[in-house]
Amino acid sequence: MKKPLLWSFHVGAAVIGLSLLPAGATEPGPYVKADGGANFITGTELKINGLPGGLSLDTGFRADDIFGYQFNNWLAVEFEGGFMQNSVNSVSLQGVTSYPQEHSYFQQVPLLANVVVRYENSTDFIPYLGAGAGGVISRLKIEGNSDDEAAFAFQAKAGLIYKIEETAWLDIGYKLLGTTEQTFGIGGDQLKTKDMLNHFIGASVTWLF
């Protein structure tokens, strides 16, 4: 093969390859992300001193800070820390319900590692899916009595990114955070939760470097 023909072959291959890349593909590198929104919890059955009961929690909030690294235009890993709080509405024991007179709450601090897959395309809208695992540190406070506990946590999330520009993104998303059972000592009583599920719906801002 003559050199001009070989050169033309390489140029043509490069042009074809570039044409197959998504428009505005994200460059590899780090990013930071902040999100916030509403958090509600399901799976709030309790055992109080071994007897069946329940914990009613109001809709609360969740806020997270995330540091991530984008390996290519579709795969990233993230390290996430956050804070969640839901007010305690009532506590029930064997069908009898009591309502705390003082401010009572259930707080959680998740610490997670996530893997995120994004689908970049020819538009500025990018859907994504993610999954992660780690732990959560929780505090339950009921009428001046509180206790802390740590548990395993796992997370799944999905959302839609809008690229304001290549280094600044907005997105709306949903997160499902699950925790294993936890035991709290409250005022001389033992309150043991079953597995809980946190449902987050909110928005985030991402800055890429």
- For residue range 47-99, list pLDDT tens digits in order: 999 999 999 999 999 999 999 999 998 999 999 999 999 999 999 988 889 99
Q: Residue 17: inside a domain, yes or no?
A: no
Q: Residue 15: inside a domain, yes or no?
A: no
Using one digit for the tens of pLDDT, what is the confidence trace for 117-167? Answer: 999 999 999 999 999 999 999 999 998 899 999 999 999 999 999 999 989
pLDDT number for residue 17: 42
Q: Say which residues have a Cβ less than 8 Å from residue 156's Cβ, sequence separation at least 6.
A: 129, 130, 131, 132, 175, 176
Give the count of domains, the chain.
1
Q: Residue 22: inside a domain, yes or no?
A: no
Q: Say which residues have a Cβ less than 8 Å from residue 133's Cβ, sequence separation at least 6.
A: 112, 113, 152, 153, 154, 155
Q: Residue 4: inside a domain, yes or no?
A: no
Q: Residue 194: inside a domain, yes or no?
A: yes
pLDDT number for residue 94: 82
Give SS3 for 188: coil
pLDDT number for residue 118: 96
Give SS3 for 121: coil
What residues does 46 pair with on adjacent strands?
53, 193
Residue carrying the six token digits 């520009």: 165
Q: Residue 128: inside a domain, yes or no?
A: yes
CATH number of the CATH domain containing 53: 2.40.160.20
Q: Residue 38: inside a domain, yes or no?
A: yes
pLDDT number for residue 26: 66
Stretch 202-206: mean pLDDT: 97
For 55, the domain range is 27-208
Taking the C-alpha atoms of residue 149 and residue 178, their distance in angstroms, rounded to an integer, is 15
Stretch 196-204: mean pLDDT: 97
